[in-house]
Amino acid sequence: MVFVKDGEIVAPGEPLCVEEEFEPGENVKKHNDGILASIISGVVKFDHSKRIVHVKPLKKVEEIKVGDTVLAQVKEVQDKIAIVNVISANGSALKHPKTAVILPSKRMRGSLEEYVGIGDLVIGMVVTCFTGIIGLSIWRPNLGVILGVCNKCSGMLIKSGRTLVCTRCGEKQKRKIVPYYGNLERLASMLR
């Protein structure tokens, strides 16, 4: 017995059908009485060829997982870690930025302040996600600062040879930069 039609919107716990007709798929669970029910609010999709029922979520859940490439803005720099706001993951802008931590490297010499600065836009890779704490690495060749901000006056840093120079005060600063540092088109492509 099917309780709802294909394409209908259902609420959590709403009965969909009985186990004799379909197997539970994504976001569907079977109750002890043999009735399949939705576990989320979403749209019902019956796959008649495979005899599986799914519920597709109404809202896309923004999830960051290990291996994702992210764009983040540095908020605080300490000796061995930097706290950042992740604003984009895998080329898609996040509706709600997430807090993460740039982790140190064994090859890192000195303080993390020599590699990133407050306000910098950084490309990192998610290396840990444990109890809601996101850990990032910037230590691979194509990861690091894509756009830097001067520690002294907050002016933009432009690449001049192997160093970065502030457009406002002329201060020279060091960062761990990506090969395409300052490429605004590449930066914009990460914020779609």
Q: How would you write the pLDDT of the chain (192 residues) with one tens digit per residue?
A: 789 999 999 999 999 999 999 999 999 999 999 999 999 999 999 999 999 999 999 877 678 999 999 999 999 999 999 999 999 999 889 988 999 999 999 888 889 999 999 999 999 999 999 888 899 999 999 999 999 999 999 999 999 888 899 999 999 999 999 999 999 999 998 887
Domain boundaries along the sequence of the chain: 9-57, 69-189
Strands in 15-18's sheet, in edge-to-edge order, are 15-18, 35-38, 28-30
Model pLDDT, residue 96:
87
Model pLDDT, residue 107:
83
3 state SS of 136: strand
Model pLDDT, residue 61:
66
Model pLDDT, residue 42:
93
| Rounded distance between C-alpha atoms, residue 147 and residue 132, angstroms | 27
- Residues 6 or more apart whose Cβ sits within 8 Å of residue 54: 25, 26, 27, 28, 44, 45, 47
The label of the residue with tokens 């201060």 reads 171
Q: Record the pTM.
A: 0.71
Look at strands 35-38 and 42-47 and give their pairing.
Answer: unpaired
CATH fit for domain 9-57, picks 1.20.1250.20, 3.30.360.10, 3.40.50.10860, 2.40.50.100: 2.40.50.100
Model pLDDT, residue 146:
97
Q: Are the beta carbons of 148 and 120 closer than 8 angstroms?
A: yes
Say which CATH superfamily domain 69-189 falls into. Answer: Nucleic acid-binding proteins (2.40.50.140)
